[in-house]
Amino acid sequence: MATSQVSRFDSGKASKRFIRNLVWVVIVCVLFLAGQGLRYHFNRAQLERIRTETNKLYASVLGEDIGGSPFGRLQFEHGKLSATLRIGLDPLSILAALSRPAGENLRLEGVSLDGMRGRVHGFFGPNTQRFDRYLDALSDDDHYLFSLEKREDVFGGITFSLIVEPR
């Protein structure tokens, strides 16, 4: 009769193999999670850098108070500029720009606007020495470019004609 050897289950050996496999699975999982953590950290740092640079760009256009929806404000400002380009020069803002540095020496006699260019006729007097300072102040305007077309000294002041264009 042949004796058959039946393999016996060795629980100690199986436990060691289970522990070894468990350790390898835990090591692989820890490495995977560490990689995902590093990826998350670098993506978050990159996102923060992008947000900071974007806010700097918004602040350079909109000022320090960019508000809650800076992109919406940019769209609004763009719409205003587009409307100005379609409509042409705004007569009230031109009059405001002309009168801001003038004081009581200025008298406007005519304003004619044709799209994106205009002509202003007026009288400056009686203090004619301040006319050049007035023209210098107009050249500092942020929205319009004023250029002297004609200047004529008359009794009691200066008659002038200016060309106005947007900057």
Give the global pTM. Answer: 0.48
Most confident of 43-52, 59-68, 81-90, 153-162: 43-52
Q: Angle at the Cα of 102 (from 101 to 103), degrees rounded to 5?
A: 110
24-33: average pLDDT: 97
C-alpha span between 137 and 130 (Å, rounded): 11
- Compare 54 and 34 and report the one with higher pLDDT: 34
Helix axes 70-87 and 11-62, enclosed angle (nearest 10): 30
CA 164 to chain centre: 27
Q: How high is the pLDDT of residue 85? A: 61
Q: Is the pLDDT of residue 17 over 60?
A: yes
What is the rounded (10 degree) CA torsion for 77, 83, 85, 88?
-130
**CA quadruple 71, 73, 79, 82: dihedral sign:** negative
Q: How high is the pLDDT of residue 35? A: 97
C-alpha span between 63 and 36 (Å, rounded): 38
What residue segments make up the domains of the chain, in order of their start?
A: 13-87, 88-166
- What percent helix, strand, coil does the chain show, rounded to 5? 55, 25, 20
pLDDT grade, residue 32 (50/70/90)? very high
The label of the residue with tokens 């560490």 reads 34
Q: How high is the pLDDT of residue 164? A: 92
The label of the residue with tokens 């990159």 reads 46
User: SS3 of 56, please?
Assistant: helix
The fold of 88-166 is Gyrase A; domain 2 (3.30.1360)
